[in-house]
Structure 1
């Protein structure tokens, strides 16, 4: 039995890693776990006592012909058989009730402790997930991440209460019963454990197979969740392009593979259970064969044999539990390893050692020989250098894929450059703490994301300390106050997911209000008016003019009419700043910007800017 912990560790190597990784959370519940463990010991003690009243009934009432003078409890000697029988049967009930109460306290206490531990782990996991860099999120599917935060944590909690705790309880009982069995008769005890080596060999070999299949199944379930999340998130496109059958086929393929894995786990677990039952029958037969002989020779009493048989069936119960819950424990271990893998992921972008809280920015921005790539050997920006003075408005123009959005992503420090540096007010971005940097930059995107909370909350996400007056002032600046007040509950109206029940112009104006309430000295506008009709475009443009007044502003746009008034225009193509200057200067220069502008002016359709930019060479 001394090798048992080692074998379990070898069969389920992730368990030690899980307990080690979550030890700080477990230690916080040490009082509750300690009390539950004491209740567990009490349950084990009562379970060991359960067959002894029955032994006394057999040995001193039934078999002995009512010879109660030999009872090992002096206080009971001399009592009549009916009284003794009443006492012993009452003891059976009392022991069972006491064991049930101890088991209840142990199970409930451990369940509460496990829930509190897993709640903290889930919170830490979600917090960590929010701080992982965009480079990580671009490689991992969102559905798989959601599965880890929700389903994997829950599976780990359930396995702790419904599998690990019963298994541990019965292992304690097994140790106690083996001790009592050897005390009663070493020969029968030796026969009882003769089947253990066979069990250990078959169980742990099967356990390894179950764990491998379970880990594969968890990966498939994560892939299914990712496929479902992707399809549901883009349901409008899916239905418009009639892609349902294609996506259903991909999901069905993954679902069938997961089903096969699940069925294989069940087959392995069922085979293990049947093997255990056969070993129990073998051990029981051996003990009965030799035990009856010992009773006939009066080496042991019939009650002793009765205790042995009772203990034997109970002693093998942990084996049944291990066989029954091997699949569940293996799946939980796989889930725990997936959680740890996510927690161990290190953000590429994080506060550097010695980083300071950024002071209020004036808004001077410098790029010095900046080179950046998402993938090695494929630069998106190449040796980019420029300087923007506080309060200036800079327009980033050029063909799609040229590096404009990457440039402003670097300014937000969503990524770090491979070479060169970016400075705000003369100091490298990496010297500032991330939160203090990003809190001083507002951003309005082409497809601004709104959350399924109230309008007030959506705007206040720009500044969590904003008052109601500041929120309304920001909404008025964004030309959003009037249509917000026309909603059923005004600012308390809860929006649908991503604000899908609002028009594009309304979503943009709420997003502008969210940017305005932050009152940041630096503003980024990424195609904020694309796709809007003329009326909404005018309302949004007016709001943007008020938002950016006096602030350092970066505007990304293919519509060159919106960039004419910029203080500086950067024409970016293939990761390089090819032209720099004001609108008039670049027109006089007659380069690519001038060619693109004349094409747009002649055609009168700004959306062709992207297509014709490639021909401007």
Structure 2
């Protein structure tokens, strides 16, 4: 169920809650923020001073109008006054411009630094969340939060929130001055504000609603684009281009409609504010003229009042203009904090300690695991795998084979029971120290954009030497074809290793596992989908990788299972048979191994 949409009175607090979430990053920039605040105060003060030289000149000329005009034009005192006032006005404008420049640069620098760190924190946090979280979310929407939502919040802070703070302070300062100058005219101005805030409240409620819908639509678009472009062979093979285009067009139209609606609402609020500003100016001009004629106000003071009015209502226009940006930023900030408030399902316990160098003796003690109500994966599994033993795990799809492997790497936590390695309960060891001693080779050999050397080096948690990379490639049987490439190990790979054959990608993945030198190796359908010639090369590479190491092989291939020391037959989350390959495989139905 979607959350209730905040109104204007909660939009700013919503952003405030977002920034409180970012308080550690803000504290790191407190020097820039303090300097920016001082520049802001100076800019507001100079803006308040700026009209007074003009007012003094007007009043002086008005008084001189009753005297001899020629004498007034040549009087040395009057000329001196005019020069001083002109220089004072120039100085105030120049200093205000300098203060405004300093304020803008300091706040923008602080804001950009904070939000750059927020983006890094958000990305790091996403990487720390469990598979359970990532399997329930769409990749494109998460990417949109890291890039688009942080970018929108960044833009709003630098171009809207910080100027808005300055405008509000200016508005308050000017209102104090005009109250001191003339209470009645100040009351005329004050009448307009309730109308403005009423309009702003109603419009912002609608703008935030549209902004949320738009961000959701954009996240869905990003997900669709990510999925379809990442599965282009399937899209092309099944002639799905037109269907994908239709789905994208539908989502694009929704995002467009929300965007146009948001722009229309923002523009309507801005134009309504313009009308209110015009009305207030007419009232002040009429009432102020009456006050001048009655002798309660000078012409110069009325000029200052009108100047203040024009300057003071500019913040109102800006508030109307920035309301749309702030509302969108509130929606984006909410989407960011929603992710940051997610707690990892699997994390180090307070008593966790780094694992020693493991031998690879694995035990499952009464392990139960489920993926939700009515979705059991393992039902009370009791199992021991000796150090250095090669164990094949067979069974139908969904039987719990991959769940068993995920428990060893602590990608999943058991609902009950224990998983132990060398007698250590995995919950007593730190995640990093356990995972660094387990190497995994998957059916889908995921490679990253970058060089081949980088992809192999990712297997260890420190920069790998060229000697380590080459040795790992030799173990994987990949050194020959890598060296034959024009740039060798520095060959840049496209996304997911496009351009390499399946066997080549798999051998690079094996090299990435080999450089880890882990005592435990998990092979999850690592030979599926390879042609016979390539399969022979990969089998040889996997043999070198797993020699002397505890190996868990998840497979549907009878030949691969027969090569193991033991075979485990799992079905429905229950260990059906455990023993020598010759004994177990003859019990397994053919359809299970197909």
TM-score class normalised by the smaller sequence: over 0.9
How do 1:93-172 and structure 2 match up within 5 A?
93-172=90-169
Contact 1:363 1:391 in 2 (8 A): yes
Q: Which secondary structure state, in structure 1, belongs to the residue aligned with residue 254 of structure 2?
A: helix
Q: Give the superposed CA RMSD.
A: 1.9
Number of aligned residues = 583
How do 1:62-461 and structure 2 match up within 5 A?
62=62, 64-65=64-65, 79-461=76-458
Which position in structure 2 is the counterpart of 1:615? none
Using the TM superposition, give the Cα deviation of residue 53 of structure 1 relative to its aligned residue in structure 2, in angstroms. 1.8
Are positions 1:48 and 2:48 aligned together? yes
Using the TM superposition, give the Cα deviation of residue 64 of structure 1 relative to its aligned residue in structure 2, in angstroms. 3.2
The C-alpha deviation readout for 1:120-145, integer Å capped at 9, x for no partner, is 11111111000100000011101011
Which position in structure 2 is the counterpart of 1:485? 483
Contact 1:478 1:544 in 2 (8 A): yes
Using the TM superposition, give the Cα deviation of residue 311 of structure 1 relative to its aligned residue in structure 2, in angstroms. 0.6
Which position in structure 1 is the counterpart of 2:523? 525
The C-alpha deviation readout for 1:51-77, integer Å capped at 9, x for no partner, is 112112211025532879xxxxxxxx9
Q: Which secondary structure state, in structure 1, belongs to the residue aligned with residue 377 of structure 2?
A: strand
Are positions 1:573 and 2:571 aligned together? yes
Contact 2:368 2:417 in 1 (8 A): yes
Structure 2: segments with no counterpart, 5+ residues: 1-5, 69-73
Matched residues in 1 for 2:130 and 2:20: separation? Answer: 26
Which position in structure 1 is the counterpart of 2:506? 508
Using the TM superposition, give the Cα deviation of residue 609 of structure 1 relative to its aligned residue in structure 2, in angstroms. 5.4
Matched residues in 1 for 2:284 and 2:63: separation? Answer: 20
Contact 2:393 2:401 in 1 (8 A): yes
Which position in structure 1 is the counterpart of 2:3? none
More deviation, 80-89/461-470 = 80-89
Matched residues in 2 for 1:367 and 1:115: separation? Answer: 49
Q: Structure 1 residues 408, 67: CA separation in 2 closer, same or farther (over 3 Å shift)?
A: farther
Using the TM superposition, give the Cα deviation of residue 83 of structure 1 relative to its aligned residue in structure 2, in angstroms. 4.4
Are positions 1:25 and 2:50 aligned together? no
Q: Which secondary structure state, in structure 2, belongs to the residue aligned with residue 579 of structure 1?
A: strand
Matched residues in 1 for 2:574 and 2:290: separation? Answer: 95
Which position in structure 2 is the counterpart of 1:71? none
Which position in structure 2 is the counterpart of 1:15? 15
Using the TM superposition, give the Cα deviation of residue 196 of structure 1 relative to its aligned residue in structure 2, in angstroms. 1.3
**TM-score normalised by the chain length of structure 2:** 0.95
Matched residues in 1 for 2:263 and 2:478: separation? Answer: 58
The C-alpha deviation readout for 1:422-472, integer Å capped at 9, x for no partner, is 111112111111000000000111111111111111111111343221221
Which position in structure 1 is the counterpart of 2:535? 537
Using the TM superposition, give the Cα deviation of residue 610 of structure 1 relative to its aligned residue in structure 2, in angstroms. 4.4
**TM-score normalised by the chain length of structure 1:** 0.91
Contact 1:477 1:546 in 2 (8 A): yes
Matched residues in 2 for 1:350 and 1:78: separation? Answer: 84
Using the TM superposition, give the Cα deviation of residue 209 of structure 1 relative to its aligned residue in structure 2, in angstroms. 2.0
Matched residues in 2 for 1:96 and 1:465: separation? Answer: 56
Matched residues in 2 for 1:413 and 1:314: separation? Answer: 62
Matched residues in 2 for 1:7 and 1:418: separation? Answer: 42
Contact 2:8 2:200 in 1 (8 A): no
Matched residues in 1 for 2:479 and 2:89: separation? Answer: 75
Which position in structure 1 is the counterpart of 2:545? 547
Contact 2:570 2:577 in 1 (8 A): yes
Contact 1:61 1:67 in 2 (8 A): no
Q: Which secondary structure state, in structure 2, belongs to the residue aligned with residue 375 of structure 1?
A: coil
The C-alpha deviation readout for 1:526-567, integer Å capped at 9, x for no partner, is 121222222211111111111111110001111111121311
Matched residues in 2 for 1:26 and 1:361: separation? Answer: 43
Using the TM superposition, give the Cα deviation of residue 413 of structure 1 relative to its aligned residue in structure 2, in angstroms. 0.8
